[in-house]
Structure formats: C-alpha cells, structure tokens
Structure 1
Amino acid sequence: MAPLALGRAEDEPRGEAETRLLAQDFLLAPGATVAQLLRPRGLAVLDFVRFRCGEEAGGKLGENMALRRAAWLAVPRDCHIAWYVHGSPPDAPPRHPTAPPPPPALGKYGALVACRTADGAPPSPAAAALCRQLAQHVVGMAPLALGRAEDEPRGEAETRLLAQDFLLAPGATVAQLLRPRGLAVLDFVRFRCGEEAGGGHEAGGAARG
C-alpha cells in the first residue's frame, strides 16, 4: 500500500489514490480503513517507516543501498544465539534467551554464534556475555570454519574458530576458553558490508565443536 503519511483517525478516505495510512483500506480486510480497524481495539499508530530494497537512502547517506545477502540461523530450544555488530553499543547488556529479540543493529561487520551449555539450561548472564564476546571474536578474527575442540592451533594463519587464539584473551584458544565453562559452539555466521554475494559465505558449516 506504500503510504506516504500517517494522517489522522478522522480523515475521510480518498479511494485508491489514498496515501495517508490511517485512511487507507486495510490490506487484509478490504472495506475497513486502518483507523476503523484500530479504533474498537484501543490501538493507535504513532509513526511508521517504510523501506524498499535498493531505494536511495533519503539523502542521509548519499548512496543506494541494496540487500546482497541474508542468513537464517535456527537452533534447538536449548541453544543460545549470540550476536555482535561492529559499531553497536559495546556495553549492551546480555539478553535472556526468552527475552524479545533486540532491535536491528547497523554496522560494517556482524556475526551470529550458536552456543549450547553442557546441561542444556539457558546460559547464565556470564555465559551469555562470553557468547557475545565470541561473536565479537568472529567479527575481528574472521574464521572460515568451526573446527573441532581437539584441533592443534596453527598460529597466526589459523582459520578454524575453535583453534584460534581468543581475541579478548590472547594465549588461550577459543576451545580452551569454552571447555571449563561447559559451553560449546554449534555454528556461526559472519557478515561484512559490501561483500560479494557469490563469495565465501563465512559460515562455520556443519562441523561441531
């Protein structure tokens, strides 16, 4: 429907040419305007933002933006997905696994890491914070594969996540840091703004740590 303005609840509809959201026919209930549908339910719309892939960024960035790549990371109920976006607030508190999802974060680099505790219980705040730091490690160290917990490190050329030196605790590999805390990494995804869609997808693959 692509409305251009919010309008007011009392606005009279103008038919198919209507561009005010509240006066438009509701897409899923033709014959009733958005305002008529909301009023008896005690709901009100305060504002809205609409995006279209490839549209100009409103003059704020001076560039065209397009979606090149997307990923869907699904895990069992006893797992936790941690995230990190370079440029997002560094002191954002860890979220409980059952909490609503965080708002979208924007940055040049981003990562998702799927973790699981040894007993399958939700991670403690400290464990959730460590998983987020691990996502930060994925952004900074750019591993290409997950590897195995028993892999021998290969030094600076190491590209397997579990065998890499942990970014925030040099001298210990990721596997060495996770093992005594009862944490395991199942998979990860890394994004870089501007990467080619046909390039390596920078995911950990099916290997298990």
Structure 2
Amino acid sequence: MTITAQMVKELRDSTGAGMMDAKKALTETAGDMEAAVDWLRTKGLAKAAKKADRVAAEGLVGVAVSGGKGVAVEVNSETDFVGKNADFQALVSNFTKAALNVADVDALKAADLGGKTVEATLTDAIAIIGENMTLRRMAVVEGDSVAAYVHTAATPEMGRIGVLVAVKGTDNGIAKQIAMHIAATNPLALSEADLDQTVVERELAVQTQKALEENATSAKPKPEAVIQNNIIPGRMKRFFSEVTLLNQQFVLNPDVTVGQAAKDAGVEVVAFVRMAVGEGIEKEKEDFAAEVAKTLKG
C-alpha cells in the first residue's frame, strides 16, 4: 500500500510522533492507522508524544570545552527532580559532548549518538523517564582558550546556570573568574556595540523623558543643552556600565572594570555565553483554589 503524506500527517496529529516515526509505523502496518498507533505505542513513541504539551521548564545546562571551543546545551524537563536523575544527567552529558562537533541545535538533534540520532535518543528517554523533555538550545563560543563555570551544579559539567568565556591570549585563570562574575551579574552583551539597538533606543527614550520631566518640575531648571549634552549621556553611560560585561565593575575587584581586569591579565574577552535553565519559558501558574471551585461547580 502506498503511504501518502496525508496519512503521515493524520498519524502525527493523532499521536504527536515524529514524521519519520509515523511513516515507519504506517509502513510496518501496511497503512492500517489503528495498527500504526499501536505500533507507536509499543515503541514508546506515542506515549512520549502525549507528554509534548506539558511545559518543560526545569532541567539542566551542560557545558563542555575542547581546545578553543566551548558549548553550552540546555535540556529541559517538567520537574527539577528529574535533574537529579543519573540517567537524565548522563543524557545531558552525552548531548553536550556531541554538541562539540556541530554548529547549532538543529544539527545536534540530527547528530549520531550510538547509532541513533540525538532526537531519537531523547524520545526514548521521555518514554522511560515519563516526563516531557526538550533539547531546547545550544550555544558556541570560540577563542584562543575557553573557560567554563557551572553555578548550582548537579555535577562539575552541568547545573542550573552554565557560563562560557572565550578569550584571546594566554589565559592565566582570569577567564574562569570572569565566568563566575557573569553568572552573578548576567550582563546583556559583551560591549556597548554588541547591545541590541532596540534595547538601547528604549533606554534612551526612558532616560530622556525622565530627565525632561524632572527638569520641568525642578525649582532650578537646567538649560536644554545641559540636559541633552550632559545629563542624558551620563545616565546612558551608567546604563552601559551596568549591562555590558566589559564595562561592569569586576566582582572580584570593584576598583576596575572586567575589561580592564582582562587587559591587566594579558587577555581580551572575545565572547561569552550565560545560559540558565528555563529562562524565557512561561510556566503555567496553577490556581489550586480556583481549580477546586471549578470542580465543585461541575
């Protein structure tokens, strides 16, 4: 029997299985839709799919470094309990090591891992562990050398926050210290030039409006030129010193900036990554009282 694209789509919609898995199930069962569903269930693929709508905002970030390349990989789960599971930790470790050989998360999902793709390995793990899990993202930095730091570590290579710092020059340990700084301060960008211009424009608009309103209500208003040429630029300079890594005061020595500390150590910071578990994911907040009331009314 010819397996059509529509049949594959229908099976995917009803089970949530991947396209290749759905096609294989239909092929194995000669196009029998119900038998294909059962085939997927026996392989644990349909079971995994049923969990796909659950929010996976917990998990671990893994980091790995090889020579002048460092990678960070986030693998999410539904509960933080799974992050303590040895099998899940092994999964994250294997995914992170595989990431050293690819350029992005799509390539990582397709990468071979012991005869299976990373994506297929994850699907199998979902069925075994019993929670929805996602390989959400990965990041790469490169330089003459790369240092890694894990905050709230589950193991030395993975935890709640993973940081990578790439430097140009011979690292004497300063890169690891800067990585620890980044974990604490969470800078938005390396330098002013690297900041998203929409962020800069928004901050400029806020500081301009604030300065004008304050001046309008001041007992001793300042000339417009002072506002535009001194006060607003001064506030923007302070903003850049707070959100850009190289301009931040170094946590380990607040008398110098991170950029100056790196220069004093004979290196230049060329890139960094700070990846925290679940950042940017909206968790559904359960209102237990409302849920009970709804049940009683029903």
Provide the TM-score with structure 1 as the length reference: 0.48
Structure with more of its chain in strand, by fraction? 2
Structure of larger gyration radius: 2
